[in-house]
A and B are shown apart, each in its own frame.
Chain A
Amino acid sequence: GQNIDQPTEMTATEGAIVQINCTYQTSGFNGLFWYQQHAGEAPTFLSYNVLDGLEEKGRFSSFLSRSKGYSYLLLKELQMKDSASYLCAVRDSNYQLIWGAGTKLIIKP
């Protein structure tokens, strides 16, 4: 079967750095997405990786290793507004998105 694993919950301190990991087993691979979802709101797109390596976008970076079936989202200079759930999703060989259950990130002052 197809599976996406990510931690259920993480806690970090304002101003610090946090890394949210995602591992996947899917039938084929056509890209990996990270989304942010604040409580009661719609998921919003953060990043897309299809080749190995690091993609940087301001305070957020996403890394992919296809051989290891592994990605991480790195958040720097954490702000209170970064408290949200972070969803990892992989597009399989049928271009269908397989979603993880999300990681709830709690930022403390």
Chain B
Amino acid sequence: ETGVTQTPRHLVMGMTNKKSLKCEQHLGHNAMYWYKQSAKKPLELMFVYSLEERVENNSVPSRFSPECPNSSHLFLHLHTLQPEDSALYLCASSQDSEGQGNEQFFGPGTRLTVL
């Protein structure tokens, strides 16, 4: 495996379910990100981890809970979601969270539908 991988690619869940999204990066990067992408809207940054420490939490509802057990893995735990949470959830990584350059490499995303 190379680059950034995400599982599952598609997820349909009810509002009372609990599920988790998984992201893995094989690039040796130190920073990882969760984004939400809704149709015709800018990418919304949800969480940033640098060296396994959370450095950014952009007022995301508590029904989204991130976990970063090591620098290669990132999870997004979901519980009691709302239909408006349906979107594409993208994971990304970069060498560092600061510094010049540092382009982000994205995974293919998880298409989430909340019924």
Contacts and interface: CB of A to CB of B under 8 A. Distances in A.
Contacts of A50: 100-101
A101 B101 CA distance: 21
A13 interface: no
Contact of A8 (B40, B45, B56, B97): B40
A8 B40 CA distance: 8
Interface in A7-51: 8, 30-31, 33, 41-45, 48, 50
B106 A87 contact: no
Nearest to B105: A45
Nearest to B88: A40
A39 to B, nearest CB: 11
A4 B106 CA distance: 20
Interface stretch (A52-60, A71-79, A91-99): A91-99
A42 B90 contact: yes
A100 B42 contact: yes
B32 to A, nearest CB: 14
Interface string B20-51: 00000000000000000000111101001000
| Most interface-central of B42, B56, B99, B106 (chain A CB within 10 A) | B42
Nearest to B44: A99
A100 to B, nearest CB: 6
Given A41-B108, A42-B108, A45-B105, A95 B43 contact: no
B75 to A, nearest CB: 18
A91 to B, nearest CB: 8
A50 to B, nearest CB: 6
B53 to A, nearest CB: 15
Contacts of A41: 108
Contacts of A33: 103
Nearest to A6: B42
B106 A42 contact: yes
A97 B92 CA distance: 12
Interface of B: 4, 40-43, 45, 48, 56, 90, 97-101, 103-109
